[in-house]
Structure 1
């Protein structure tokens, strides 16, 4: 049986269907579950136990939309008695985002699209046709390459922390990388454009002559992170947005970008390392502990 920790479980909702696809580490499809009926379908009966266990694990980890109200604390002669169990019941369940892999959200989308139309995906890959599946896959590759650079920084200076594929809100949005360290808090948006020419000036960001909203989006992403982390950590947090181009053949910064920074992938570690120190270790730990909780990012 495959190690359940290595299996990928992806939810796919489209055309009135709601399914979970279970994939092996080598991207081999093992099976899927119809969430409406609970029926599990497998390609190989030998995988059934692993697929059913992976589905059960997903159900246990993902809370249902409607949560039952926490039981009221007991009272005795007008005195409220708060027990350990009642406190635990009132604390929201959260997932540890430190366990998420770089590019996880984008990779899951690519796999779901591949499983939904395997033949069409195969033909598109052979013909090098630009599809949504390809865009998600290339995006995931870019995020993984940025994460590799961040890992070097963390290894060099343990005060730095990095979270990847941080889910925000309930509409499927995510922040590619949230980096916290002595230089502050940063939201990194990896943009993988192999062989492209990038031109930046003020509020304009162009890829092969086409304007892209990357600077605006990065600014909004950082502002949202600032608000959510401030509320969760209980201290003022000002996140800085950074667009990280990956794979570009040429990058020209005609004028300093406004609203966000633009730092090429190969330079991101050094750039972060050179930021003036604004957070001590206690503040870094406090913000990181808030950032790693999935419930922090629901607002």
Structure 2
């Protein structure tokens, strides 16, 4: 039996631009469209059944439809039961990305350009920072925390372990692949060679690692990122920051 867990996000993230319009759109569909569309579909099916019986003069036979209804209800219940963990994971992941994204927005005051949710082929990059310390891809992992005990992640430079377990998919490999992809994208679009540094952030977790683990990738709690950036040497001039940001903006608008 799995140990109980909880979300690492303590407070709900701030609202994002356009959220009221999105909520109004979904509410409009639910309140004004969903019910009449479902009723219309049901009555189309019932009407078709009545015409079929009328034209073929067949007596009603509830047994077939009863069997089909039972099968469909059981399938729907099974699908809801199977989908609930995915829905919970997506909701928790979205909350984590919003919280981290809103934290990163503060870095604009320090000369950083911030981008969110870059879409690649079959994957996405949660966040990108371009500023004085360089170009960074940031992967957010909103892992559920244990209800009891220490919420600690141990990083040895290559592999993460949490509560003595190794995750099925290594976020370090994922983050490095994302940084490599962005490096190629910027080289192709700008004609310059930008070093892209991968970062993985875990909201609400304590990260245990040695300084040697920080040479090729940062695995951090989001609040530590500001200190790491402040201590990092300057690698890009303002014109280089603007060039990379301009071309990345064009790519985002084109996807």
| TM-score range normalised by the length of the shorter chain | 0.5 to 0.7
Change (3 A) 1:137 1:258: farther
Whichever structure has more strand as a proportion of its residues is 1
Structure 2 Cα separation of the partners of residues 272 and 215 of structure 1: 19
| Cross-structure match for 2:163 | 208
| Cross-structure match for 1:253 | 209
| Cross-structure match for 1:270 | 227
| Cross-structure match for 1:174 | 124
Of residues 28, 33, 40, the one that matches 1:42 is 33
- In structure 1, the residue corresponding to 2:186 is in which secondary structure? helix
| Superposition pairs of residues 174-193 of structure 1, within 5 angstroms | 174-193=124-143
Of residues 239, 243, 247, the one that matches 2:200 is 243
Shift of 1:219: 1.0
Does structure 1 retain, via aligned residues, the 8 Å contact 2:207–2:220?
no
| Cross-structure match for 2:58 | none
Change (3 A) 1:119 1:280: farther
- Name stretches of at least 5 consecutive residues in structure 2 with no aligned partner: 1-17, 37-74, 146-150
Q: Deviations over 1:22-41 (max 9, x none)?
A: x525853616xxxxxxxxx9
**What TM-score, normalized by structure 1, do the two folds share?**
0.56
Change (3 A) 1:27 1:296: closer
Larger Rg: 2
Structure 1 Cα separation of the partners of residues 182 and 159 of structure 2: 23
Relative contact order higher in (CA < 8 Å, ≥ 6 apart): 2
Whichever structure has more helix as a proportion of its residues is 2
**What TM-score, normalized by structure 2, do the two folds share?**
0.64
Structure 2 Cα separation of the partners of residues 296 and 236 of structure 1: 22
The alignment of Structure 1 onto Structure 2 pairs a total of residues equal to 191
